[in-house]
Structure 1
């Protein structure tokens, strides 16, 4: 029996199954399925290529013969290949989902037309050479109160500001992993992008997380002019726990502090650990009025088994009912948690929808290229 090929088929088969039909219960199994299928779900075409090359190598080397075990292995590889094709088809529907979400929000402009092949072949979110990263600037005295600034190397003047907060359930996470495709995209277009860490559990609680988000936003407004940006135009964004922080800050902020738009990716929107309806400081956006909310973009995967999509759907409904600003709610077909770890079809669909939303509310429109230009900036990678 070809043992190496057996391992390839088993590992890829299990990971592909976890990506295609992730269980929601029990929680330990759901978490394991998420971890196993996370990468496969975002780049299934690359995994399919790996499987095909492994199969060709096994045939070429003579490891696969005309016996029962070889037939079983080939059947397993074929079944995995069919599932990977299904995952690929599902992921490429993200652009259509984003377009439908924009139309539902009353925005007629379609997302920029982007090459599916270019996205397929460049999934790693390397920082483009045109973007400079200034690391570990302080916005407070605690070691977690640090942020990175990303800007274009030619330092265009008066660009808007994006402040981004990572996920991790408030007990883990880093400014170095999630959302990089989004940060690089806007920085290339003349934005000043800030990616911030914040204090974590168990050494910090909800009030400390919210205070850190407030301090990082204040730092961005105070220091934006030093980096050539326009401090009057700030957009806030976050993933998972960072999306929770973003939704709360956007609904709690005073008119002078309120961001121009809020971007929430695969967020958790319930109450903070152990909190009840009697909490003195609201830790869920559902407990806050939304009549003065900014424009929102909420993106969530339909198969997210970490933070189910129903809560994102409910938050979008609340915002539409109470706010006069656009609410773009994108449900990504087959999307899981943490879809922004790579520059996949799903993330690029969300980025393109954000471009349209920002143009619709006159934020950074002058820094957003015409349709089709998104594929042309200097993209030489820099770590």
Structure 2
């Protein structure tokens, strides 16, 4: 039993250390380090209960009868302290959002909190929340054997709150999943956000697109432009306003969300439907890649890694760097860009946080619209996949921010940081 206590204590310690200081240099450690720290950080409360219960039971049943057990207990207690530190960092999410001018206090009485039950049992996020209707597998593009589908998240008709419009149409949100452009599906990501947005009266569209290596850039983006064309024509059938659409996504989806927002109406990305308006009213990219050409936080440019070079773009980075520049959101910075709310985790080991910082700086130098940036202290890559405390507060902040943009749209005002924000965070 002493050695069992030693093993549990050491595992607890290693998990805590990996969560606080995840490996960033050696690729053999980066991926397993990411997954273990991701689970540790975002499931920290559940892990804390398991660690405390495991150490307590083993100690009570003879684990302290020999010296290995005492070493395991000490290591486990240090690990528990590290787990508590990750929880404390997560609890500062609201402070981070307020410091970023995110309007958390807009409509405080009409903004339901993220359900506590989902924080305790994360699997509940897979089930539509009360008052939310999900219409699955709607085909939005069909050409030959190609059939691309989406899921619609909207308020149930019998439970619809008062529309936040002067009519019956609701604001729309496009969600783009991540997965390194090679994996992922609409059923797996963005669910906490889409459910919460639907409760608040939005209509969300979780959109699939072709994946590499079968798809070659820019086919991923073209599919998403086809969705916007479909949205203009069919949004009203689902209760959404064809003239108001925002976009969000994480990781590869964050890259694609930024591309969608910044490359609006670029003819090369909408062949055959060049006259369709593919602009969006706001963008919320999570932990995305924004520059494939300049190395920045990586030892080599991101476009030169095998995933992008061989599977996504399928060109030589050395011989054709312009092809990778054409896939970079920073190549499309524009004065008339829509408002951006960029979100990134400070502990992100797959896409280091300096990538987001430099993108935000460059975008702010060019865009006339507001560019908000929230850096989640202690947050790993893909932190919002789980409905953790951090995810709940970020989801609430995103909804408040986008609702502020929609309110300005209805009032005929240009996008800006809402007046209510200054009142609430000043």
Q: TM bucket by the smaller chain?
A: 0.7 to 0.9
Alpha-carbon distance change, 227 to 362 in structure 1, aligned in 2, over 3 angstroms: closer
Secondary structure at the counterpart of residue 45 of structure 1? helix
CA contact (8 A) 2:140 2:149 kept: yes
- Count of residue pairs brought into register by the alignment: 364
Q: Show the counterpart of 2:149.
A: 146
CA contact (8 A) 2:6 2:70 kept: no
1:84-99 pair list within 5 angstroms: 84-99=83-98
Alpha-carbon distance change, 175 to 3 in structure 1, aligned in 2, over 3 angstroms: farther
TM-score, length basis structure 2: 0.78
Alpha-carbon distance change, 114 to 98 in structure 1, aligned in 2, over 3 angstroms: farther
**Per-residue CA shift, 1:188-225, capped at 9, x if unaligned?**
11111110111111111111101111112222222111
CA contact (8 A) 1:161 1:220 kept: no
CA contact (8 A) 1:144 1:198 kept: no
**Per-residue CA shift, 1:258-283, capped at 9, x if unaligned?**
11101101111122523454228711
CA distance in 1 between counterparts of 2:258 and 2:191 reads 20
**Per-residue CA shift, 1:73-100, capped at 9, x if unaligned?**
1111101111011111111111111111
Q: Show the counterpart of 1:380.
A: none
Q: Show the counterpart of 2:363.
A: 319
1:257 aligns with 2:278: yes
Secondary structure at the counterpart of residue 141 of structure 2? coil
CA distance in 1 between counterparts of 2:41 and 2:289 reads 21
Q: Show the counterpart of 2:70.
A: 71
Larger CA deviation: 215-224 vs 347-356: 347-356
Q: Show the counterpart of 2:380.
A: 336
CA distance in 1 between counterparts of 2:51 and 2:76 reads 7
| Structure 1 alignment gaps of length 5 or more | 372-383
1:137-176 pair list within 5 angstroms: 137-141=138-142, 145-154=148-157, 156=160, 157-176=168-187
Larger CA deviation: 193-202 vs 270-279: 270-279
Alpha-carbon distance change, 17 to 53 in structure 1, aligned in 2, over 3 angstroms: same
| Structure 2 alignment gaps of length 5 or more | 161-167, 266-275, 293-302, 310-316, 411-419, 422-426
Alpha-carbon distance change, 17 to 165 in structure 1, aligned in 2, over 3 angstroms: same
CA distance in 2 between counterparts of 1:111 and 1:8 reads 47
Secondary structure at the counterpart of residue 279 of structure 2? coil
1:351 aligns with 2:421: no
CA contact (8 A) 2:114 2:396 kept: no
Secondary structure at the counterpart of residue 63 of structure 1? helix
CA contact (8 A) 2:114 2:392 kept: no
1:83 aligns with 2:82: yes
* Cα shift at 1:9: 3.2
Alpha-carbon distance change, 89 to 293 in structure 1, aligned in 2, over 3 angstroms: same
Alpha-carbon distance change, 6 to 145 in structure 1, aligned in 2, over 3 angstroms: farther
* Cα shift at 1:297: 0.9
CA distance in 1 between counterparts of 2:199 and 2:115 reads 21
CA distance in 2 between counterparts of 1:67 and 1:278 reads 65
CA distance in 2 between counterparts of 1:220 and 1:357 reads 22
1:267-278 pair list within 5 angstroms: 267-271=288-292, 272=303, 273-274=308-309, 275=317, 276-278=320-322
Q: Show the counterpart of 2:246.
A: 235
TM-score, length basis structure 1: 0.87
**Per-residue CA shift, 1:295-331, capped at 9, x if unaligned?**
1111000110100111111111122111111111100
Secondary structure at the counterpart of residue 189 of structure 2? coil
Secondary structure at the counterpart of residue 279 of structure 1? helix
